[in-house]
Chain A
Amino acid sequence: MTNTTTSREVTQPNVMGDAALVFRREFLSRITSNIFLATFAFALAMIIGGVIFFKVMQETDSDTVGLVGDQPAGAAEALPQLAEDAGFGAVEVETFDSREALEEAITSGDVQVGVVDGDELVVKTNEGTLPGFLALIWKEARVAELVNSPDFEAGQQQAVASATSELPLTELEPDPESEAKAGVGIALVVMLFLTIQLVGSMLMLSITEEKGNNIVELLLSSMSAKSLLLGKLAANGLVGLIQVVAMIGTTIVAVNVADLADIPTIPSSLLLVALLWFILGFAFFGVLIAAAASLAPSQEDAQSVMTPIIIVLLIGYMASFFVTANPGGSAERIVSLLPFVSPFVMPARFLSDELPIWEHVLALAIAVAALAGALQLGSRIYTRSVIHTDRKLGWLEAFRAEPVR
């Protein structure tokens, strides 16, 4: 009964054409879903709100000048009024017992400029015009003190020269951007993690919906499981990509426009690097999430099968904080090459200037190799388990099962 006319061509499934149809439906469905729109709006509002908050805080904050040791007479007393007249706003003066205590207050940000023994300025980072203004007042006070001294006599050139000499400036943290960059780096890690997690959840829900509602049987009567997987990954990946572009783009524009002190100008190339790593990260985790979701017959059962993937995702996320704390450390550099860590942390390392090109290329090569493995494993599991809507399958059982369609 079966075909004997083997010379006739057997029609192969149109994998890409079917995947494109799945992609279109899935993308439109996700991008207009309430969960996506709400999260998207919330994230952008948080970013813009955060930047505005910092800007307002910086503009309304009063500065504090810390003193330790002897000071020229009248300088400290005159400072608040002079500063206000000169347009520096409110400036407070605080006296410390020791240089150590003063430096601690400067490092923590409680004190902006310190004056030690009336002849040395101490700042966290040399920026702004307040230190120069202080130097001017202190010099004038020293001169006035000298001139008004009963012992002062004309011709004391050395004493005058000393009084009018520049006050040396000591910086406690000469690289102002390292900390700020670390902060932006952490924000990047959080954005990438949240996006991969959000889009991964949408992918999981989409797969379990099709299994739970038995739509998958109808779908697989029309296309291969590979098309279905491909279309879903691409659609949810694009949704995530849009979210990443919007969040990082908004951050770059908002920070640069607001011109916040202490925060470096963010290079636009960061966006490309972040996108590249998002694609690698989402593809890696996405295909594993799809495989795990395909094992469960319903959304209720999905949580337990997702646990191993969630744990790996969280380990990668936590490890990223370890790396961003000291991006140049040896252990941190090795950890950042792991394929479940690198997608979160590499953009932050790129921003920190602690990422040699060879290391970036190595991390990409490892990530691509791991992705190839994940795609093999994930698509094998998915194509074998997605049709089973009656019960939950184990990873090993699905791995060994015969493929359907």
Chain B
Amino acid sequence: MLLGVSMLDLARFQFAMTTVFHFFFVPFSIGMGLVVSIMETMYVVKKDEVYKKMAQFWGKIYLLSFAVGVVTGLIQEFQFGMNWSDYSRFMGDIFGAPLAIEALLAFFMESTFIGLWTFTWNKFKPAAHCALVWISFLGSMLSAIWILTANAFMQHPVGFVIKGGKAQMASFGALVSNPQLWACFPHVVIGAIVTASFVVAGMAAFGLLAKRDVNFHKKSMRVALWIGMIAAICEAGAGDYQTQVEIHEQPMKFAATEGVYTTTGDKAPWDIVADLDTKNHENKGAWSIPDVLTILTYHKTTGSIKGMNEINKELHKKYDSKFGKGMDYYVPVKTLFYSFRIMAGFDLWFIIVSILGLIWTRPSKDTIENKRWFLWVLGVTTYFPFIANTCGWFITELGRFPWTVYGLFTIADSVSASTTTGELWFTNIMYFLIFSTLGGVMVYYCKKQLDKGVDKALEGGVY
């Protein structure tokens, strides 16, 4: 203990910090892969040079996000062993396989084809060159599937047996057909597409505000807003679908995101804000809309939602023989409750601004340049997907408390025995400095590229 902070706290803080930072850039780069692929495909189909420029200009942003995603991903692979070695020993038989498959199947594909794509603008015919970026996008999707396979097991362990105090794989098929995985995957990938769309639209808005490359940025904005609108609408559906799975698999997580302590009646109201008393485990009052929670949850007008207090009792009954009576099964309720509202609120925001943007940039009556306030709104929106993504992961990961593997292995048991508090303080501070620098430089270079203007940024080819 140092400054009253335990090693476990530090290791948890580090995991949160490194994954949150990694998860700024991963969805960004997955989504940019699709946006750039679509732009280059439009070039191949329409043969209009402006789309080629678009793919190249936004492609450079794609490469930046990819680079930061790669290096922060390295930390992920190392830290399971470094900070969570007891977890790795317990879970390695199951958890290692998806990670290794991710490298073999996805990382080689992404890295090789993105390298080919970057340096062969003048080497291949447009259609062949365009195929390269699609393949690297496909690689990043595969990568998402495998890392989520690993995560899905932690949320909802399937296809295993416990042998000699360790989890052992009993069925690989069960691992990859985990309902948790296929509920989570669309939500994450569509979220990635939303992220990239609004970064491109937002940066293009800043470009228009500076009255630079007007035609280019307007066209980029339209492409991005189309993709963004479709994705943001689908995202609501994907989130709903994941919730349906969660209600059954992790009722505590679900009840916490809605702040439900005591089991509701058949017509549950939806709380917009609530006074949550986490000490006495009660919801002391809220602004709420009647019936809406029931409708959102069950897609029909009657149905009660089980409260955390009841779920807590059930969990004690289920696990006390194994983990003892001292366990606290309440998750960080306030964080989950507000994370959900911020995340869902931003999705609604994305749908609205993309529809407005598309209306005001329509070729028959294009007035967007005069609506400088709206360009500012779009510009600021650049940052919102990152907040929404982070909130989403807070719900997923904090909602798994107190487990690393749900119902099987606790967070407290997972941490490395040989690591010291001093080492963790050191690496936490260093990671913080590294991440602030990387993030700062990345934003700086994005802004710089925008300020330079399209032609200057693409001078001398892409490289």
Do A and B come together as binding partners? no
Identify the B interface with A (CB < 8 A): none
List residues of chain A with CB under 8 Å of any chain B CB.
none
